[in-house]
């Protein structure tokens, strides 16, 4: 079955540290990729998305992600995290076998940024 | 403001009872989705609907039912056949008719607990 893997379940960082959250997907061929964030008590929000073109995607709040096709990866990065980045982060992939109508989500990474 | 409204925010159910979760959107989105979120498991798709009067099972449809009588509404019924219904339920929607690169937008969720 097609899947999305997030290997870091919990990450703890100090403010100003750099962040990289891993995401790997199992689809071959064309793929749509997303990172969503869920701040405490809030709904899921889209951070960034990749469909085609430049593999380095910039999103909101200083986040970026790089699509590396050869590694089936779409890792999320931020050069310097803030306390307000404390949240749960989900990677998701559009399922090509359903015409991209469905998303498959990873299990999420909980990020705690200490002040 | 346009958005996705889920109600109620918290819901308690006695064992053996069916319960219906509401999801309404005023974004004029074609497709709507129901997910279940459990700690450490990410989001898992229960049902989705691309157009009115049509819906498809997701990965964990057993014990759930849906209807899509109106474009704006996609209620989810958790039946007594669902053996482990305690979870956080998320509704989402997207423009599916505008191509496969449209992201999903999420509601605030309903937390269901069994008494």
Encode pLDDT of A27-37 as tens digits: 878 889 999 99
Alpha-carbon distance B10 to B34, whole Å?
Answer: 16
Mean pLDDT of the B28-48 span: 94
Q: Say whether A67 sits in a helix, a strand or coil.
A: strand
A40 touches chain B (CB under 8 A): no
Specify the pLDDT at position A22. Answer: 97
pLDDT of B45 above 70: yes
Q: What CA–CA distances, in Å, run from A51 to A36, A39, B33?
A: 15, 25, 21
CA nearest B111 in A: which residue?
A: A41
State the number of CA atoms in the 13 A half-sphere of B45 facing the CB: 24
pLDDT bin (cut points 50, 70, 90) of residue A79 is very high
Structure-model confidence comparison of residues B115 and B56, the more confident one: B56
A100 touches chain B (CB under 8 A): yes
- Extract the runs of DSSP E, i.e. beta strands, from chain B: 4-7, 10-13, 19-25, 31-38, 42-51, 54-57, 64-66, 76-78, 87-94, 105-106, 110-114
Mean pLDDT of the A43-49 span: 94
Q: Do B101 and A32 touch (CB under 8 A)?
A: yes
How many helices and strands in chain A, by DSSP H and E?
A: 0, 12
Specify the pLDDT at position A1. Answer: 67
- Chosen for mutation from B9, B95, B98, B100 (greatest number of chain A CBs closer than 10 Å) is B100
Alpha-carbon distance A55 to B47, whole Å?
Answer: 31
**Contact between residue B35 and residue B92 where contact means Cβ atoms under 8 Å apart:** yes
**Mean pLDDT for all residues in chain A:** 93
Alpha-carbon distance B75 to A42, whole Å?
Answer: 21
For residue B79, which of B33, B14, B16, B7 has the smallest C-alpha distance? B16
A53 touches chain B (CB under 8 A): no
- Chosen for mutation from A105, A106, A109, A110 (greatest number of chain B CBs closer than 10 Å) is A105
List residues of chain B with CB under 8 Å from any CB of chain A: 4, 31, 33, 35, 40-45, 48, 50, 58, 90, 92, 96, 100-101, 103-109
Specify the pLDDT at position B1. Answer: 59
Q: Which residues partner with A65 through β-bridges?
A: A57, A76
pLDDT bin (cut points 50, 70, 90) of residue A97 is confident
């Amino acid at each position: 079955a097609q899947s999305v893997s997030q290997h870091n379940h919990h990450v703890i960082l100090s403010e100003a540290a750099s962040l990289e959250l891993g995401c790997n997907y199992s689809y071959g061929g064309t793929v749509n990729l997303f990172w969503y964030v869920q701040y405490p008590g809030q709904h899921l929000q889209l951070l960034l998305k990749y469909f085609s073109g430049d593999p380095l995607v910039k999103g909101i709040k200083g986040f970026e992600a790089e699509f590396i096709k050869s590694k089936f990866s779409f890792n999320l990065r931020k050069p310097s995290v803030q306390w307000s980045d404390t949240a749960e982060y989900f990677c998701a992939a559009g399922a090509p076998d359903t015409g991209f109508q469905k998303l498959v989500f990873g299990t999420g990474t909980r990020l705690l940024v200490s002040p | 403001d346009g958005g996705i409204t889920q109600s109620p925010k918290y819901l308690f159910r006695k064992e053996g009872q069916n319960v219906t979760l509401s999801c309404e959107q005023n974004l004029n989105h074609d497709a709507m989705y129901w997910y279940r979120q459990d700690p450490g498991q990410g989001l898992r798709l229960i049902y989705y609907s691309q157009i009115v009067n049509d819906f498809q099972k997701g990965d964990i449809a057993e014990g759930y039912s849906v209807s899509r009588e109106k474009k704006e509404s996609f209620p989810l019924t958790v039946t007594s056949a669902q053996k482990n219904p305690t979870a956080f339920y998320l509704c989402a929607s997207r423009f599916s008719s505008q191509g496969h690169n449209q992201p999903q937008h999420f509601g605030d969720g309903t937390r269901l607990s069994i008494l």
